[in-house]
Structure 1
Amino acid sequence: MVLLFHTIALLLLLLSDSVSSQALTLNIRDNGKICSQWVKPGANGQFSVSYAQQPECISAVAFEQANGQARLCCKGMPLTTPPASFPKECGKQLYQPLRQRIIGGLIAHPNSWPWQVLVRGANNMCGGSLIDERHVLTAAHCIKSLVQVNDYKIIIGAHEINKPMYMEQELTVSKIWVHEQYTASTTANDVAVIRLTNPIKLSDKVNIICLPGAEAKSVNDTVWVSGWGRTAHNGDTSPILKQTYMQTMGTKCSTYGAASFNEEKQICASQHGVGYTCQGDSGGPLMYEYEGRWYLNGVVSYGPTDCGVGTGLPSVFARVKYYLSWIRSKMASL
């Protein structure tokens, strides 16, 4: 189905597929609505777009116009759910993530990755994963050696970083452990544990992810990554949390240019041979689902400098299972 929107807001509904149009996805939450991205008109001053029905729409799709651009919106299904239905177990979420395997990623549902946190430093931004009520796992290279602990803040419940939501919390940090054998030149042992000043209270919007066990994914398995990283080489970081799926690659990683890849300590993953993680995604989770729970398989470590767009190189992640003893020793320390 194709919709033509004139700049004076005349709506024409065509039942023919003969009109060339932009395919839009309604996946952006905005003040109770679910909207598409903003698009510009064609040379004739009209907007020609097609869209698929969004199951979470509870009203008809409508046309909105502002500043010479247009988008499609509908009234979205409420996200609020009685707290009694909150699954109080690791790796469980009340708000289910989108599962479409879209190349290049798509905007995540708010709070569908409730363990995703934003790590803010004095001059940098990274992702991280909540692994218990007081600890966050992130990448060692996200922690700057000359920056004080007080300069770091952990944001939980975040979705659109430029428009804080009511459920967001900004938390202070009491201690940070960078792996003692972390090597910046090779990014070996690229893990760090952050301790929050006070434990958080889990809710329907904030939960912890499970640490991996014997079921950990290795090769040719589907995994998911989320973050606010750049969406293009030299581009801006994404203001809205995005997600994408990838496939684990095993030892093939070294043949794709990751010369220092260590399969015991690291995981290599790509999407059709392309990494798709970029600056700003660092420290965030590489996740897999097993029997209805989500597990932390890896920590975003590094990828190609062009974010995989030109070189087609994969992304590399610190393998969480390898570091479990180290992680738990820091969590248990005074």
Structure 2
Amino acid sequence: MKLQLFLIVVFAAFISCAPRAEVSDDEGVQDRILNGDLAEAAKYPFIVNVQERKPGEKDPFRFCGASILSEKWLLTAAHCYDHVKSTADIRINAGVVDANNFGSKSQEISVKKWFIHPKYSRIAVHDDIALIELLKPLKFNKHVSPISLPPADYEPTGEGKILGWGAIDPKEEIRSQYLREATIHVSTEAECNKHDSPMSAATQICLGVSDKTTACQGDSGGPFMQMINNKPCIVGVTSFAGKGCTEKAPSVYTKVSAYKSWIEETMKNNP
């Protein structure tokens, strides 16, 4: 049975809850992610944290990740937003590895609108992709900058990076305050299906069969990144996992190349 990665806010979570280290406004912290590492500041300037600021609550609720495509457009997962009634309380926090840091490096911006793929199905978990339009543009610098889309015919192979602020324990009870990264391998459709993670290779990517790393609750919407022609490209968006946050359990990502035309047309038609 699919366990949707509806989050608590990556993209890449892995095991070990080390004592929390202090993070300055300028530097990230290196530690552990489910068997990954804490990301350095400005290493992945394209990933943002999506948060809900609820009235009366001191800290925002971190629930998804997203990747910067341009000053006003982000790529994320549809299932993060299909339950949200209004954009009024939704913010993104860009430029920091500490999701709770709203200091000088942070760019906290409201969401104007999101565009869920018209064929998205929460029950079947397909076409799980969405775009976020920001209320005002991001200011690009070394901490905040976009990631490229892959070619329309791109088929991921080998290994890449997953990123996020999701759970870091198998029970998915402990969320990471800091951005985490891990290397993960592309697996086959047949391998994913054997692990109770049915997916379609035409529009989805199976990751991490037999790996110690996996995406966990809270990582949804975050990127699977690979280098294409020597530049970072977002080739996958975190969608769901079959058996939760455990080693050797696969995660399924939406294949970005299959939706490149929809992404570009949506951005073009909503200037």
TM-score over 0.5 for the pair: yes
The aligned residue for residue 83 of structure 1 is none
User: CA, structure 1 residues 163+181, in 2 after alignment: closer, same or farther (shift >3 Å)?
Assistant: same
- Among 202, 205, 212, the alignment partner of 1:267 is 205
Quote the Cα distance in structure 1 between the aligned partners of 2:219 and 2:186: 17
User: CA, structure 1 residues 148+222, in 2 after alignment: closer, same or farther (shift >3 Å)?
Assistant: same
Q: Please state how far the C-alpha of 1:258 moved relative to its aligned partner.
A: 1.2
**TM-score normalised according to structure 1 size:** 0.66
Quote the Cα distance in structure 1 between the aligned partners of 2:29 and 2:250: 31
Quote the Cα distance in structure 1 between the aligned partners of 2:228 and 2:255: 17
Alignment of 1:146-295 (within 5 A): 146-213=84-151, 216-219=154-157, 221-232=158-169, 233-251=171-189, 252-259=191-198, 261-270=199-208, 272-274=210-212, 276-295=214-233
User: For 1:222-281, what per-residue CA distance to the aligned partner results, in whole angstroms no more than 9, with x for missing partners?
Assistant: 11001000001232210110000100012232222212x010000011063455100110
Bigger RCO of structures 1 and 2 (CA < 8 A, at least 6 apart): 2
Please tell me whether residue 113 in structure 1 is matched to residue 44 in structure 2: yes
Query: Residue 258 of structure 2 aligns to which amino acid in structure 1?
Result: Y
Q: Please state how far the C-alpha of 1:218 moved relative to its aligned partner.
A: 2.2
Alignment of 1:26-65 (within 5 A): 30-31=23-24
Q: Please state how far the C-alpha of 1:322 moved relative to its aligned partner.
A: 0.2
Quote the Cα distance in structure 1 between the aligned partners of 2:213 and 2:113: 32
User: For 1:106-165, what per-residue CA distance to the aligned partner results, in whole angstroms no more than 9, with x for missing partners?
Assistant: 100012100001111356510000011110011001003342022211111121123334
Q: Percent same amino acid among aligned pairs?
A: 28
Quote the Cα distance in structure 1 between the aligned partners of 2:206 and 2:93: 28
SS of 2:267's partner is: helix
The aligned residue for residue 314 of structure 1 is 250
Quote the Cα distance in structure 1 between the aligned partners of 2:220 and 2:73: 17
Query: Residue 107 of structure 1 aligns to which amino acid in structure 2?
Result: L
CA contact (8 A) 1:153 1:171 kept: yes
Quote the Cα distance in structure 1 between the aligned partners of 2:42 and 2:124: 34
CA contact (8 A) 1:28 1:107 kept: no
User: CA, structure 1 residues 315+209, in 2 after alignment: closer, same or farther (shift >3 Å)?
Assistant: same
CA contact (8 A) 1:124 1:142 kept: no
CA RMSD of aligned residues (A): 2.6
Quote the Cα distance in structure 2 between the aligned partners of 1:215 and 1:29: 43
CA contact (8 A) 1:152 1:173 kept: yes
Question: Number of residue pairs matched?
Answer: 242
CA contact (8 A) 1:222 1:245 kept: yes
User: CA, structure 1 residues 313+33, in 2 after alignment: closer, same or farther (shift >3 Å)?
Assistant: closer
CA contact (8 A) 2:100 2:177 kept: yes
- Among 70, 80, 99, the alignment partner of 1:132 is 70
CA contact (8 A) 1:218 1:250 kept: no
User: CA, structure 1 residues 303+199, in 2 after alignment: closer, same or farther (shift >3 Å)?
Assistant: same
Structure with larger Rg:
1
Query: Residue 324 of structure 1 aligns to which amino acid in structure 2?
Result: K
User: CA, structure 1 residues 333+34, in 2 after alignment: closer, same or farther (shift >3 Å)?
Assistant: closer
Quote the Cα distance in structure 2 between the aligned partners of 1:303 and 1:291: 29
CA contact (8 A) 2:150 2:228 kept: no
